[in-house]
Structure 1
Amino acid sequence: MIKLYYMKGGNNFGDILSKDIVAKVSGQDVVHAKAYRADIISTGSLLGKVQNTKLRRAFFRMLKPTYVWGTGIISDGGSVSKNNLVICALRGRLSFGRFDLNSDVALGDPALLCSKLFPYKKDKKAGKFLVTPHLHDKECEAWIDRIEKLLGEEVEVCNLSQDVDYILEKIANAKGVITSAMHPLIVAHSYRTPVVWVDVGSVVILGGNYKFEDYYSVLDIPLQKITKDDLLEGMVSKENIEDQLEKSYVGLERLRSLQDGLIASFPDSLRKK
């Protein structure tokens, strides 16, 4: 059984997805653990919280390694210490640059593995535009209403507290995804579903754009986004959204390279024998 650190509490899509991905790759059951007791830290922006537990980790882990696989740093800043962490993979080049590491560390968010680990047969019928607001986006109704007016009856809103398998299948079969959360965006890239991020500001997204820029740094495509303010002020048209969606595809060769790197970098000691 693997102990995974994530932000427990409520139905957080990213955390539950992280648990499912680690379980699939490792072939083992996965349970929640506090940062100083965890075997591994995966998706999310959890490195800052984990680094602050160095002394407790040394005591509770009895010198056993704590692996970092695909997580990142939440905000800009200076260099940071590994603090006895074994870093196998990091979310992006910005997080990588904060450490003194060699070039063997894999890059990419583990949610990019979804299409490989949880394949869905594409529905031949054209899907709808799927809107997935961040769970903490309490004022999302206004910008969603604007999206619905722009795109008409082709819009379906998906609550990220729903079953993970349901959300994955919806994203895989969507005509396009419009989201104010990070992990639906990454999942859409994995299934090669067109996607655009709605920047709703730092009130909802801690650390601002940093984690998105970190993630996009490994994709070889520019960050595709529209802002909530521009939507509400009528500065975004249907054509703007469609153009952003069209430019959002991650190259298939690049996607497979990131996926292979993540799979290969998963710690062997945590794989089922």
Structure 2
Amino acid sequence: MVELFYYRGTKPNFGDDLNELVWPAILSSGVFEIDDLVIVGIGSILSEEWIGKFEGSGKTVVILGAGTSYDLPPKAVSKWLVKAVRGPLTAKVIGMPEAAITDGAILLAAKPGLLPDRSDGGDVVFMPHHRSIRSARWEHIADRAGMRFVSPQQPVDDVLQAFAGAKLVVTEAMHGAIVADTMRIPWVPVMISPAFDEFKWRDWTSSMEVPLRPATISAGHGTDEWVYARMQTILSRHGIVPERTLNEAIAQDALVEYLKKRFDPSLKRALLQCRPSRARRVFAKLLFPARRLAESRAIADLKKVAVGPTFLSDPKVFAAKLQAMKEAVAEVEDLVRNARVDSGKRIASK
């Protein structure tokens, strides 16, 4: 059986879990019968940390819409079949500009039935990143802002059904924006935590020719405000100012240096140390008026973004990217079909 490789955490996560919906529906059964084949699809896993282990494994590794982030790209990437990556930043950092298409989740639009029918509902959906679901009562905050809270840890089908009744998606989770765009629903990117990964967001938005202008949303809880303030201080001290650095004109070596700096182990450790102590969490629970104030700030921020600028890729750009991703899938199908004609051959890597 083919190995469908994507990040599997201890808790569900919408973007990663899309892999189990998309690929069994898009790829033929013949692809899934190949034993020495690895499909790397949706997610920020085109990195040495996650897939470097496949170097020297004897397996054919196919990249279909994955992106780089959280680490440097894998050393063996030039030996693999890179059919599509998430965007121009990933393509540049791996030295394959021709591979820039878009995120693999666009294939939700490639086959009828993968996406639920749109309803006439008028919900404004709010989805934070899973790492921002800390202390704040986001469901309550969203409700007070006139929005429907959707957790990225809900089952994929539940999230898609919620989106189907939405007129707008306000999201800190990148795949919330990608799926909204795929469903042709306007979306607004927001940043709650300073850990917001601008590299992967800008990679995807550039692929769809949409500007990245995230609105800042208050943390919704005093403890989280304290944590995020410390994190921002640490990032600034390390010179992490991505909005001044990341653009399509940036050189490959500068991109590599940015990734080295942004995901340096010492920086990761410093950010992890920002977690509040148990005593601080208990103390914060006792400060009811402070909690109310923190929630009111988040509510006001959400109300503001709901009536501000929204984003949606141009229909012609969307159609072109979807077609290009379909063609990348067809190339994989051709490789498998040709390998199966002569059972004495393996699928040829680069």
Common fold: TM-score over 0.5: yes
Tell me what 2:155 maps to.
163
Q: Deviations over 1:172-194 (max 9, x none)?
A: 32121112211111100101111
Shift of 1:144: 5.8
Alignment pair present for 1:198 and 2:181: no
State the alpha-carbon separation in 2 of the partners of residues 147 and 158 from structure 1: 9
Shift of 1:147: 4.5
CA 195–83 in structure 1, closer or farther in 2 if over 3 Å, else same: same
State the alpha-carbon separation in 2 of the partners of residues 133 and 168 from structure 1: 15
Q: Deviations over 1:237-256 (max 9, x none)?
A: 735432222xx111111111
State the alpha-carbon separation in 2 of the partners of residues 140 and 258 from structure 1: 38
State how many pairs are aligned: 253
Assess if the C-alpha contact under 8 Å between 2:102 and 2:207 holds in 1: yes
Segment of structure 1 superposing worse, 66-75 or 229-238: 229-238
Q: Which letter does structure 2 place at the counterpart of 1:95?
A: T
Equivalent residue runs for 1:162-241 within 5 Å:
162-203=154-195, 205=196, 208-229=197-218, 233=297, 236=301, 238-241=303-306
TM-score, L = length of structure 1: 0.79
Q: Which letter does structure 1 place at the counterpart of 2:103?
A: D
State the alpha-carbon separation in 2 of the partners of residues 188 and 156 from structure 1: 15
SS of 2:130's partner is coil
Tell me what 2:291 maps to.
none
Equivalent residue runs for 1:73-92 within 5 Å:
73-75=68-70, 82-92=77-87
TM-score, L = length of structure 2: 0.63
State the alpha-carbon separation in 1 of the partners of residues 137 and 37 from structure 2: 40
SS of 1:213's partner is helix
State the alpha-carbon separation in 1 of the partners of residues 167 and 141 from structure 2: 18
CA 131–270 in structure 1, closer or farther in 2 if over 3 Å, else same: farther
- Aligned CA-pair RMSD: 3.1
Assess if the C-alpha contact under 8 Å between 1:74 and 1:210 holds in 2: yes
Q: Which letter does structure 1 place at the counterpart of 2:202?
A: E
Shift of 1:113: 2.1
State the alpha-carbon separation in 2 of the partners of residues 90 and 178 from structure 1: 25
Assess if the C-alpha contact under 8 Å between 2:142 and 2:149 holds in 1: no
2:102 equivalent among 95, 108, 131? 108
4+ residue stretches of structure 1 with deviation over 4 A?
75-81, 142-147, 230-235
Percent identity at matched positions?
23
Gap regions ≥5 residues in structure 1: 32-36
Tell me what 1:16 maps to.
17
- Where is the helix percentage greater, Structure 1 or Structure 2? 2
Segment of structure 1 superposing worse, 249-258 or 77-86: 77-86
State the alpha-carbon separation in 2 of the partners of residues 141 and 116 from structure 1: 37
Gap regions ≥5 residues in structure 2: 221-293, 341-350
SS of 1:238's partner is helix
State the alpha-carbon separation in 1 of the partners of residues 92 and 40 from structure 2: 19
Assess if the C-alpha contact under 8 Å between 2:5 and 2:39 holds in 1: yes
